[in-house]
Structure 1
Amino acid sequence: MDFSLSSDEQELADLCRVFAQREIATRAPTAWHEGRCDTGLLREMGSMGLLGMLVPPEWGGIGMTTVGFVAAMEQIGLADQSCAAAWQAHATIGSLPLLMFGSDTQRDRWLRPLAEGTALGAFGLTEPDAGSDARGIRTRAEPRDGGWLINGRKTFISNAGTDMSFGVTLLARTGDGEEARPRYGTFVVERDAPGFTMGPKMAGIGWRGLDTRELYFDDVWVSDDHLVGDPAMGLGQFLGTLEVGRISIAALSLSLTQAVLDLALDHAGSRVQFGRPIAQHQAIAFKLADIATELEAARWLTYRAAYLRDAGRPFMKEAAMAKLQASRVAVRAASEAVQIHGGSGYMLDSDVARFYCDAKVLEIGEGTNEIQHMVIARALGC
Structure 2
Amino acid sequence: MPPTIEQSFMKALFHGIIAEDIIFPYPEMPAEDRETTSMMLDSVRRFFASSVDSGRIDREHAIDPGVLDEMKRLGLMGLQIPSEHGGVNLSNMAYARVMQEIGGLDASIAVTLGAHQSIGFKAIQLFGTEEQKQRYLPKLATGEWMAAFALTEPGAGSDAAAIRTRAELSADGSYYTLNGSKIWITNGGFADVFTVFARTSALEEGKKPKLTAFIVERSMGVKSGPNEQKLGIRGSSTTELFFDDVKVPRENVLGEVGKGFKVAVEVLNNGRLGLSAGCVGACNTLIRMALDRVQERRAFGRSIGDFGLIKDKIATMLAHTYALESITYLTASLVDAKVPDFSIESAICKVMGSETLWFVVNETLQIAAGIGYMEEYPYERHLRDARINMIFEGTNEILRCFMALSGMSGPGKALADVAKAMREPIKGFGLLSDFALRKARSVLGRERMSKAHPLLSREAVIFEDCTAELATHSEDMLRKHGREIAEMQYAQRRIAEMAIDLYCMAACISRTTRAIERRGEDGARREIDLTTVFTGMAQKRLRQHVADFQKNDDELRKAIAVRAYADRAYPFDIL
Same fold? TM cut 0.5: yes
Residues 124-139 of structure 1: matches in 2 within 5 Å?
124-139=150-165
Higher helix share: 2
Aligned to 2:367: 340
The whole-number CA distance in structure 1 between the counterparts of 2:305 and 2:36 is 34
Q: Secondary structure at the match of 1:73?
A: helix
Q: Compute the TM-score of the two structures, normalised by the length of structure 2.
A: 0.64
- Residues 273-323 of structure 1, C-alpha deviation per residue, up to 9 Å, x if partnerless? 211111112121211111011000111111111111011102111111111
> Does structure 1 retain, via aligned residues, the 8 Å contact 2:188–2:240?
no
> Does structure 2 retain, via aligned residues, the 8 Å contact 1:12–1:72?
no
Deviation at 1:77, TM superposition (A): 1.1
Letter in 1 for 2:130: D
> Does structure 2 retain, via aligned residues, the 8 Å contact 1:304–1:318?
no
Pair 1:11 & 2:17 matched: no
Deviation at 1:188, TM superposition (A): 2.1
The whole-number CA distance in structure 2 between the counterparts of 1:8 and 1:36 is 36
- Residues 320-340 of structure 1, C-alpha deviation per residue, up to 9 Å, x if partnerless? 111111111001111111111
The whole-number CA distance in structure 1 between the counterparts of 2:74 and 2:405 is 40
Aligned to 2:194: 168
Aligned to 1:120: 146
1:88 to 106, 109, 114: 114
> Does structure 2 retain, via aligned residues, the 8 Å contact 1:16–1:75?
no
Deviation at 1:158, TM superposition (A): 0.9
Q: Compute the TM-score of the two structures, normalised by the length of structure 1.
A: 0.94
Aligned to 2:182: 154
The whole-number CA distance in structure 1 between the counterparts of 2:332 and 2:183 is 29
Q: Secondary structure at the match of 1:51?
A: coil
The whole-number CA distance in structure 2 between the counterparts of 1:218 and 1:189 is 13
Q: Secondary structure at the match of 2:200?
A: strand
Residues 1-382 of structure 1: matches in 2 within 5 Å?
1-25=25-49, 27-29=52-54, 30-145=56-171, 146-162=174-190, 165-178=191-204, 180-194=207-221, 196-313=222-339, 314-381=341-408
Q: Secondary structure at the match of 1:122?
A: strand
Letter in 2 for 1:222: V
Deviation at 1:249, TM superposition (A): 1.1
The whole-number CA distance in structure 1 between the counterparts of 2:369 and 2:151 is 39
Letter in 1 for 2:179: N
Radius of gyration: which is bigger?
Answer: 2
- Residues 346-381 of structure 1, C-alpha deviation per residue, up to 9 Å, x if partnerless? 112322211111111111111111122122112321
Q: Secondary structure at the match of 1:155?
A: strand
Letter in 1 for 2:26: D
* Structure-2 change in CA distance of 1:13 and 1:357 (3 Å): farther
Cα RMSD (Å) of the superposition? 1.7
Higher strand share: 1
The whole-number CA distance in structure 1 between the counterparts of 2:376 and 2:194 is 34
* Structure-2 change in CA distance of 1:378 and 1:124 (3 Å): same
The whole-number CA distance in structure 1 between the counterparts of 2:227 and 2:298 is 42
> Does structure 1 retain, via aligned residues, the 8 Å contact 2:79–2:95?
yes
Structure 1 residues not aligned, in runs of 5+: none
> Does structure 2 retain, via aligned residues, the 8 Å contact 1:54–1:64?
yes
Give the share of equivalent positions with the same residue, in percent. Answer: 34
